[in-house]
Amino acid sequence: MRFLILSDIHSNLDALEAVLAAAPAHDVVANLGDIVGYGACPNEVIDRSRELGKIFVRGNHDKTCAGIADIRGFNYIAAAAVVWTNHALTPDNLEWLKALPQGPLPLDPLTDVQVAHGSPRDEDEYLLGSDHAADSADNTDVPITFFGHTHMQGGFLITNNQEITFKPTYKEENENETWEMSLDRPGKYLINPGSVGQPRDGDWRAGFAVFDSDTRKVKFFRVIYDVAKAQKRIRDAQLPERLAERLVHGR
């Protein structure tokens, strides 16, 4: 089976539509959370996400925008977007956000792959370094975990008392590109597909991944999209300017 893995869309409809247009044929879509927050199209992105499939785990912005987590852990820019989003959500989409499940969850129908927002041990944990990844991997027996939250494409392999960090290598800045790797080594893989709507790894292009459970390969993608249109939506909504400006830098 081929799984389209999406994460951290953050209400960026233009990035999401570009990703879906570029994605290869797939059987299942898995969404790793933070569907909303930051961007100006929360209802449109939720509606589109709900059409795509039923595998979801909630993100910290999903919880906070839905009013079931404390906003005090957010900086003032993120908090402003949370308040705006909460007021913008339709009643149906607000209830849907509230009901999103906590990860990790199996990547159905597989039993040896799971999805989480933050990490296998904590849905709000940031896996930014291999030491954190190794500690978190100790909390699961599942060999492959797809996670989001950091907005940084790549991941970690914990094997034979080694902590290996990997990151896709691309050559261009303004074209669609892919990078593939085989998951053929023993150990535990923790893999971040990248952020669809607000990358923070220095690459402005929307990120996602496709996992082939038959070949045990994951292909990472970076896709160009109409950033200017996404920025205009943010400015028209009178959200903080930083949220528009950062999209062109990928940070």
Query: How much is the pLDDT for 33?
Result: 97
DSSP labels for 226-239? Answer: -HHHHHHHHHHTT-
Query: How much is the pLDDT for 88?
Result: 98
Residue 11 pLDDT level (bands cut at 50, 70, 90): very high
- Range(s) of the domain holding residue 90: 2-248
Query: How much is the pLDDT for 85?
Result: 98
Residue in 143, 209, 195, 214 with CA at minimum distance from that of residue 33 = 195
Q: Using CB atoms within 10 Å of the CB of residue 210, give its burial: 0 to 12 exposed, 13 to 18 middle, 19+ buried.
A: buried
The percentage of the chain sitting over the pLDDT mark of 70, rounded to a whole number, equals 100
pLDDT, one tens digit per residue, over 96-123 is 999 999 999 999 999 999 999 999 999 9
Query: How much is the pLDDT for 216?
Result: 96
Residue 136 pLDDT level (bands cut at 50, 70, 90): confident
Query: How much is the pLDDT for 184?
Result: 92
The single-letter code of the amino acid at 34 is D
**pTM exceeds cut of 0.85:** yes
Mean residue pLDDT of the chain comes to: 95
Query: How much is the pLDDT for 58?
Result: 98
Of 59-63, 105-109, 133-137, 214-218, give the lowest mean pLDDT range: 133-137
Q: Does residue 68 carry a pLDDT above 90? A: yes
Total domains in the fold of the chain: 1
60, 114, 142, 217, 241 from 103: Cα distances, Å? 11, 9, 13, 23, 32
Q: Does residue 128 carry a pLDDT above 90? A: no
CA–CA separation, 163 and 147 (whole Å): 17
Residue in 66, 55, 185 with CA at minimum distance from that of residue 116 = 55
CATH number of the domain bearing residue 235: 3.60.21.10
pLDDT, one tens digit per residue, over 198-237 is 999 999 999 999 999 999 999 999 999 999 999 999 999 9
Asked if residue 79 lies in contact with residue 52, where contact means CB atoms within 8 angstroms, the answer is no
Q: Does residue 248 carry a pLDDT above 90? A: yes
Over range 158-176, report the average pLDDT. 91
Query: How much is the pLDDT for 106?
Result: 96
Beta-bridged to residue 144, according to DSSP, are 113, 189
Query: How much is the pLDDT for 1?
Result: 95
